[in-house]
A and B are shown apart, each in its own frame.
Chain A
Amino acid sequence: MQIKTDRDARLGYWLILPTVIAVSGLIFYPIVYNLWLSLQEVNMNPVQPNTFVGLKHFTDVLTDSDFWRSFKTSLIFTSTTVVGTTLLGLGTALLLNRDFPGRSVIRGVILLPYVTPVISAVFGWKYLFDPVFGMANYFLVDIIHLLPQHINWIESPAYAIYAVIIFNVWKNFPFAFLMILAELQSISANLYEAAEVDGASIWQQFRYITLPELKFVIGALVILRTIWNFYKFSEVYLLSSSVEVLPVYIYEKAFASYDFGQAAAISAILFVFVLGFIMFYVRKVLEW
């Protein structure tokens, strides 16, 4: 490749310079700084220097059973919420794609969980699942006697992961719903008419018309939600500190153990993992 140096090209370089500065300042600098941190034993006192420790943090992290437990929790959380939000969004979109009175109102109401501020939703859920006064326990234990005794759904490490998953699905499915609904409305009615004439059942129409048309939007939703939820901190940590997904683990390494170097190393590992996943997914699943 030859670098152009004529007047037009030089003007061109000047014109893209602001973008280059913005991108390197906002994206490359933090990444490089994080990588640099991951090789240091960071001293909390800004006056004293850091010590270079090479790849020690990486070997420490990869041999730490706590890390792998968090990794597993993160995988469970991400996979279930991605499937949950997508399926629930798809189902709701299919239902609300039909004509019925009050449809636009319902469509608006469905969006509520998504637009509610996280912290207010979290407090609502905390009361809903309160171990003593909560509606959930009252219904499950005292009314229908499904469970023998009240459970602390939100704080107990054994159950908190379910609460967090359900909460995340409830909070985020409207986004999937919105995207899928928009795509559904662009599918031509002619296709369904033709299929009906050919005698296709409802299932066959869904399987051979709706799904292929939705392939790309669902594919995009899955990849976006995976990235978002793999790094999800607020919705998990605010609802329950008992669910140690990786972002929470990093937070505690940095701010409770004051081990910034190791926290940076974990971030770097996550970065590589998610990048690998995205590349695989885009090539093999989406076939872009």
Chain B
Amino acid sequence: MRKNRILTLILLTVLMLALTTGVFAKTTVEYWTTQTEENRVEVINSLIKEFEANHPAFEIELVTVQENDIPTKLVAGMAAGRLPEIVEMGSEVIMKMGAEGMVASDEVSTVINKIGKDDFFKGSLTMLSRPEEGYFGVPFHGWVQGIWYRQDLFEEKGLEPPTTWDNIIKAAEAFYKPDQQQYGIVIGTDKDAYARQTFTQYALSNNARIFDENGNIVFNSPEMVETLDYYSRLAEFTPPGPDGWRDARDLYLAGRVPMMMYSTYIMDDIGLEATGYKGEKGSIIPNLVDKTAFANKMHKTRDAVFGQINGLTFIKGNEDTQMDGAKMFAEFLLTGDNYIKFLHMAPGGMNPVRASIASDPQYQNNKVLEVWGEKAGEIAAGLNSIGKFGYVGGKVFPKIGDITSQFIVGQTIMKMTESGWTAEEAAEWGQKEMEDAVE
């Protein structure tokens, strides 16, 4: 009798446990981000914890993806039928996913409208939408690229700011002393995203495009050949061999180059020393903030600004409850304190896309942003006028994703800088590769 009762009790407990876990089973929402640096992951994790505390029904699973690995990861995820619910990525990647019908466009619009469409910078919304199909991503944050240069050294030599092609190459030549390991400039010359990003600004300033308005590839246009030729001549004043973003950053901070192309993410590194950074002695030139200026507009035949808008987007085909969680999480990230906390991960680098946040004193209250003072505001203003290869005359060509995933622009540059091809040969090669890629 007693044995029986114990047995019933055990059975009951087991049953209840099973039931309760069933009721309280959490919905998992997978979130992909390109923020891979350890300290940024920490911030994101603390935001996730806060979100989970407020929304106990959901569990956010964070997956970090290197920027250069995005195409690979997406393809692998697609082939395995296992894509995340919410991703944070650059606008081209999101537009490409949208064009392939992977994005839950209605959900994106819901979130944008809920936060307030008018509060987003217009430029950022355009980069993530197609006139006939609506929004493919919720704008999240953005950066602007340009030439960061040593104002003090430029003044010493009586050089003009590097805002035009002539000024840039003149200055690069003036500072190039390879026997002392001093170089003129760092621009991208490797098979990577950085090379495409730095090259784009030169191309756009000469009105050279990858697509014309009808979507044909025009990489062998005279303007593009001229740009390639100029770029390879400029590359003669760079440090040896193919260079990437890491070379740009390290060599500029160490005072080996007076000019390099980089996004606003460098503001953090340059500003570090002024914020009481106690790092390795001599690793950063003292008072670098005061000596640094930023030329974010480039001019040849027209002004060009280059940058990136990162957006959040939702992938189709996931369960409704997961979608709800993803939407709530997106809203959570873009609201008030959470948004500011997120942007402060890389102060200056990540710029707000919401007007109300940009002018929020709480956002401006950050050591690095204060060190940069008014410059920070000017830099962020560039965000509204970004030009890119995938966007021509108000049209978007998501096919650019096939070209960027194979790093064809970087490879074209390497044909000239490493194999000694002429600009015409390289342009023809690039044209053919690009045509094959978008086939």
Q: Contact at B191–A242, with CB atoms within 8 Å? A: yes
Which residues of the partner chain A approach B407 to less than 8 Å between Cβ atoms? 256
Which residues of the partner chain A approach B81 to less than 8 Å between Cβ atoms? 46
With an 8 A cutoff between CB atoms, is B359 at the interface?
no
- A155-B190 in contact given A131-B241, A149-B179 (Cβ < 8 Å): yes
Q: Contact at A132–B181, with CB atoms within 8 Å? A: yes
A244 CB to closest chain B CB (Å) equals: 10
- A150-B71 in contact given A44-B79, A155-B190, A242-B191 (Cβ < 8 Å): no
Q: Contact at B75–A44, with CB atoms within 8 Å? A: yes
- The answer for the CA separation of A258 and B96 in the assembled complex, in Å, is 14
Which residues of the partner chain A approach B27 to less than 8 Å between Cβ atoms? none
Q: Which of B51-82 contact A (CB under 8 A)?
A: 71-72, 75-76, 78-79, 81
Q: Which of B255-292 contact A (CB under 8 A)?
A: 256
B214 CB to closest chain A CB (Å) equals: 24
With an 8 A cutoff between CB atoms, is B34 at the interface?
no
Q: Contact at B419–A157, with CB atoms within 8 Å? A: yes
With an 8 A cutoff between CB atoms, is B132 at the interface?
no
Q: Contact at B251–A132, with CB atoms within 8 Å? A: yes
- The answer for the CA separation of A224 and B407 in the assembled complex, in Å, is 35
Which residues of the partner chain A approach B241 to less than 8 Å between Cβ atoms? 131, 151-156, 159
With an 8 A cutoff between CB atoms, is A158 at the interface?
yes
Which residues of the partner chain B approach A152 to less than 8 Å between Cβ atoms? 239-243
Residue of B nearest to A154 (CB): B241
A48 CB to closest chain B CB (Å) equals: 11
B283 CB to closest chain A CB (Å) equals: 11
With an 8 A cutoff between CB atoms, is B418 at the interface?
yes
Residue of A nearest to B179 (CB): A149
Which residues of the partner chain A approach B406 to less than 8 Å between Cβ atoms? 252, 256-257
B100 CB to closest chain A CB (Å) equals: 7
Q: Contact at A241–B191, with CB atoms within 8 Å? A: yes
With an 8 A cutoff between CB atoms, is A5 at the interface?
no
- The answer for the CA separation of A252 and B408 in the assembled complex, in Å, is 12
Which residues of the partner chain A approach B75 to less than 8 Å between Cβ atoms? 44, 254-255, 258
Which residues of the partner chain A approach B247 to less than 8 Å between Cβ atoms? 131-132
- A256-B405 in contact given A45-B78, A46-B78 (Cβ < 8 Å): yes
Q: Contact at B181–A150, with CB atoms within 8 Å? A: yes
What's the count of A-B pairs with C-beta under 8 Å?
72
Residue of B nearest to A241 (CB): B191
Partner of A132 from the list B71, B239, B437 (CB cut-off 8 Å) is B239
With an 8 A cutoff between CB atoms, is B373 at the interface?
no
Q: Contact at A131–B72, with CB atoms within 8 Å? A: no
Q: Contact at A255–B418, with CB atoms within 8 Å? A: no
With an 8 A cutoff between CB atoms, is B414 at the interface?
yes
Which residues of the partner chain A approach B244 to less than 8 Å between Cβ atoms? 155
How many B residues are at the interface, by size bracket? 20 to 34
With an 8 A cutoff between CB atoms, is B134 at the interface?
no
B79 CB to closest chain A CB (Å) equals: 7
Residue of A nearest to B242 (CB): A155
Q: Contact at B78–A156, with CB atoms within 8 Å? A: no
- The answer for the CA separation of A257 and B71 in the assembled complex, in Å, is 10
Which residues of the partner chain B approach A150 to less than 8 Å between Cβ atoms? 178, 181, 239-240
Which residues of the partner chain A approach B178 to less than 8 Å between Cβ atoms? 149-150
- The answer for the CA separation of A154 and B239 in the assembled complex, in Å, is 13
Q: B10-38 CB contact bits vs A (8 Å, 1 = yes)?
A: 00000000000000000000000000000
- The answer for the CA separation of A242 and B242 in the assembled complex, in Å, is 10
Which residues of the partner chain B approach A257 to less than 8 Å between Cβ atoms? 406, 437
With a 10 A CB-CB cut-off, give which of A45, A256, A260 has the most chain B CB atoms.
Answer: A256
B85 CB to closest chain A CB (Å) equals: 17
- The answer for the CA separation of A155 and B191 in the assembled complex, in Å, is 10
A43 CB to closest chain B CB (Å) equals: 10
Q: Contact at B181–A46, with CB atoms within 8 Å? A: no
- The answer for the CA separation of A252 and B405 in the assembled complex, in Å, is 10
Q: Contact at B239–A131, with CB atoms within 8 Å? A: yes
Residue of B nearest to A240 (CB): B242
- The answer for the CA separation of A266 and B250 in the assembled complex, in Å, is 39
- The answer for the CA separation of A154 and B76 in the assembled complex, in Å, is 28
With a 10 A CB-CB cut-off, give which of A155, A158, A257 has the most chain B CB atoms.
Answer: A155
What are 13 of the A-B contact pairs (CB < 8 Å)? Answer: A44-B75, A132-B181, A149-B240, A151-B241, A155-B241, A156-B241, A158-B418, A159-B241, A241-B191, A255-B72, A257-B437, A258-B402, A260-B79
Beyond contacts A133-B250, A150-B240, A241-B190: 19 other A-B pairs, Cβ-Cβ < 8 A, are A44-B75, A44-B78, A45-B78, A46-B78, A46-B79, A132-B239, A132-B240, A132-B251, A149-B179, A151-B240, A152-B239, A156-B240, A157-B242, A159-B241, A241-B191, A252-B406, A256-B72, A256-B405, A260-B79
Identify the B interface with A (CB < 8 A): 71-72, 75-76, 78-79, 81, 100, 178-179, 181, 183, 190-191, 239-244, 247, 250-251, 256, 402, 405-407, 414, 418-419, 437
